[in-house]
Amino acid sequence: MDPRHALLTFLFAHSWRPWAWLKRREPWGLSPLELARWPPGTLGEALGRYLCAMGFELMDKLESHDVAHLLTGVATDVPGEIALQYLLAGNGKRSAYMGAVLVVGAVLFPERHQEWRAAFARGRELAPFHHLDFRALLDAPFGELVDYVEGRRAAA
Contact 115, 79 (CB under 8 A): yes
pLDDT digits 0-9 by tens, 45-72 = 999 999 999 999 998 888 999 999 999 9
Residue 156 lies in a domain: no
The predicted-structure confidence for 82-110, as pLDDT tens digits, reads as follows 999 999 999 999 998 899 999 999 999 99
Would you say the pTM of this structure is higher than 0.85?
yes
Q: Is residue 95 part of a domain?
A: yes
Q: Is residue 89 part of a domain?
A: yes
Domain hosting 99: range is 3-149
CA distances from 13 to 9, 26, 68, 132 (A): 6, 21, 19, 26
What is the SS3 assignment for 141? strand
Count of domains in the chain? 1
72 domain residue, yes or no: yes
Tell whether 103 is covered by a domain.
yes
